[in-house]
Amino acid sequence: MVFERRVPIKTGNRTSRSKASGGYRKRPRPSIVDGLLSGFSRVIIGIILLILLVGGGYMTFLSLTLPDVSIISKTIPHETTTIYSADNVVLADLHKEENRLIVPLSKISPTMRKAVVALEDSRFYRHHGIDPIGIVRATVVNVVRGEKAQGASTITQQLARHLFLSKQKKFQRKVAEIVLAFKIERKYTKDEILEMYLNQVYWGHNAYGIESASLQYFGKHAEELSIAESALLAGMLRAPEFYSPFRNPQEALKRKDVVLKRMFQTHLISRKQYQDAKQKKLNFVTRQNYKYKAPYFSSMIIDKLVSMYGEEAAFNSGLRVYTPINYRMQLAAEFAVEHAIKNGETEGLNYSQAALLAMDSNTGYIVAMVGGYDFRANQFNKCTQALRQPGSSFKPFVYLTALSKGVSPGTIFTDSPVVYDTVMGPYAPENYDKTYEGRMPMRAALEKSKNVVAVKLVSMVKPESVVETAKLFGITSPLYPYLSIALGSQEVTMLQMVTAYSAFANGGPLVKPVSIIRIEDRNGVVIYREKTETQKVFDTNLVSALVEMMKSVVEKGTGTAAKIPRPMAGKTGTTSDFRDAWFIGFIPQMAVAAWVGNDNNSPMVKVTGGSAPAVMWREFMNMALENVPMLDFQKPAGMEEISICWTSGKKAGAYCPVTSVEKFWEGNTPTTFCDVHGGGSRVRPDSATPEKKPADWVKDLIEQ
């Protein structure tokens, strides 16, 4: 028996029954179409459930194979090592693949954070890793335009991609990106995610992270970025090389305006801020000709870091290296060297290289270093690597040795030809100009840089003693006890000579050169500190006596071209055939060496230490000492002054032709008057030219 269910028909509040059916309506039989639709729905639902099941299982499996996001906080990314000058100028950023400087979010401009969020992920603070609204919006826009015009990846997804995944656009990567984004969101706060993102992303020209980008494009730290600067940098993220202000400045500025408009539309900046930032002129950093500032010095520091920590740590561990270079003085040194080269070219003097090195005489700090001309063409550092003959700039070691043996600055020596019989054959030293002036005080011989007198002094005090003195003052190059050591014939480095002259400047203590003050790791912990090492190597009073003699070199000797309006001393140096020319001078606070020559050791055109190097030295000092106080050297004690006759070496009489006031050690002062010039001519002190009228010559001849 078949039962037919009758369904009541509701009408208002009453239930009516059809008369034909006894008050009940028959349920219509399902049609064939309804059956097909019902079956299709089940299939669709089944497929959806299957996809969800398979997808869920796949994502679960994928989740188990993906990295643990907690390692982000433990992972130490490659970070750029930075070398700083004493006045906080970045001299060099060292990195291999990635130029990156890590900074906390608090050190990133709020406007920079807003710009990135506005452009890359406006709902960043409202979603949990992925942005469904953003996905729908991007899909619609891309379908309408028929191309990929917008992306839907959140900042968290992009961070996951940067840290863990390849950048290939594959389905598996996209799914993994979503899974990791959820994991990251559960593990870290929004601010932590944004901080990691801003320190990871690429900003073009090998700059990774916002701090590196900010310094590279604007020369300022990320916390100092303005709204307009932030907008420009945010706009670069989609295509860093294309939107680079260095490569496509017009496109970069257009992109900046797009970002500013977006920031205004999302209420991150006011209308006035938007209009002001849009009109603001941006000042970009001029790209360096050299990879590093102070390139010779920076390269020396890099070599030192590699030897201390290895190449990987030196370039990628985020070290902060603080050096004593004074960048204002460094620029003055670079200008002086370049000017010397141009003058040499203009005057046809045939030298192609010049170098300058300055050192604080009290601390040993290297404050300026120019190791040559044109670092791109020649990286060989003439300050530290080149072994060159110092010429007469070596003579102070000879004269200091003589002072230590009891010889006084006023002791008379004869400037005349001499021949020595040595194991290598006869040796006959000559003066630079091949002329001889006869008898003169030792001080004047140094002032005039008389080669013959210097060799006679070496013969008197013994060459071994001169070698010993030079080594006490930091000359580490091999030195041999030959008479020619007086003329600077044995090779040394500029750094050795400046170290020695620094000891002259500060009265005897030898200070070790310092190129690094301290090194900090990426967390600011000091891991290395270079201490100032000072050792008294010579009697202060003897050094003070030498310095007084060297002051005479600048006041009226071979170094007058270097004279500056403050107490100073120095010595010129010129080697045979004019292959090297030096001037090394000092004030109480600093010693500086200047050199010109050629890498191939070819001769110059009569360039002496008193010409191009002395001028270069003076130009540097006039610029470098702008804010350095004027000090004088310590006066030597235990000496007596007396006017002497150059011919007899005794106290000058009224008619001695050539006289000067000289200093003698107490007990060695001449006590008798000149017995040679009973009726000699009266002259001015310190003058080699008699001051008298022609008629007086006749009178003197009659009296003699």
Structure tokens at 411: 């002791």
Query: What pLDDT score does 687 carry?
Result: 42
pLDDT at 256: 95
DSSP-assigned letters across all residues of 453-487:
HHHHHHHHH-HHHHHHHHHHTT--S-----GGGGG
Rounded to whole angstroms, how far apart are CA atoms 589 and 399?
A: 22
C-alpha–C-alpha distance, residues 660 and 670, integer Å: 13
Cα separation, 307 vs 182, in Å, equals 44
Q: How many CA atoms lie within 13 A of 186 on its CB side?
A: 9
The pTM (predicted TM-score) of the whole model is 0.73
Q: Is residue 567 classed as helix, strand or coil in its secondary structure?
A: coil
* Model pLDDT for residues 78-117, shown as the tens digit of each residue: 788 999 999 999 999 887 666 788 899 999 999 999 999 9
Residue 392 is a catalytic residue: yes
- The ranges of the chain with pLDDT < 70 are 1-77, 96-98, 134-152, 164-174, 287-290, 679-704
- Note the pLDDT tens digit of each residue in 298-307: 999 999 998 8
Q: What is the pLDDT of residue 67?
A: 55
DSSP string, 194-260: HHHHHHHSB-STTEESHHHHHHHHHSS-GGG--HHHHHHHHHHTTSTTTT-TTT-HHHHHHHHHHHH
Q: Which CATH class is domain 98-279?
A: mainly alpha
Task: Check if the beta carbon of residue 682 is closer than 8 Å to that of residue 655.
Answer: yes
Residue 468 annotated among the catalytic residues of the structure: no
CATH topology of 85-92+295-388+493-534+559-636 equal to that of 98-279?
Answer: no
pLDDT digits (tens, 9 = 90+) for 358-397: 999 999 999 999 999 999 888 899 999 999 999 999 999 9
Q: Where do the domains of the chain lie?
A: 32-65, 85-92+295-388+493-534+559-636, 98-279, 391-491, 639-703
The two tokens of residue 606 are 């009569």
**CA–CA dist 343, 442 (Å, integer):** 35
What is the fold, at CATH topology level, of the domain defined by 391-491?
Beta-lactamase (3.40.710)
C-alpha to C-alpha distance for 103 and 212, rounded to whole angstroms: 10
List the catalytic residue out of 79, 120, 437, 619.
Answer: 120
Task: Quote the CATH superfamily of domain 85-92+295-388+493-534+559-636.
Answer: DD-peptidase/beta-lactamase superfamily (3.40.710.10)
CB 277 within 8 A of CB 228: yes
SS3 for 399-451, per residue? HHHHHHCCCCCCCEEEECCCCEEECCEEECCCCCCCCCCEEEEHHHHHHCCCH
Closest CA to 483 of 506, 513, 462: 462
> What's the CA gap between 278 and 509, in Å, rounded?
60
Question: What's the residue count for the chain?
Answer: 704
Whole-angstrom distance, CA of residue 608 vs CA of residue 613: 8
Among positive and negative, which fits the CA dihedral 124, 130, 134, 138? positive
From the list 230, 392, 393, 660, the catalytic residue is: 392
Contact present, 619 and 533 (Cβ < 8 Å): no
Determine the pLDDT at residue 703. Answer: 33
Please report the pLDDT score of residue 362 as a whole number: 95
The pLDDT, as a whole number, for residue 453 is 97
pLDDT at 628: 93
pLDDT for 649 equals 94
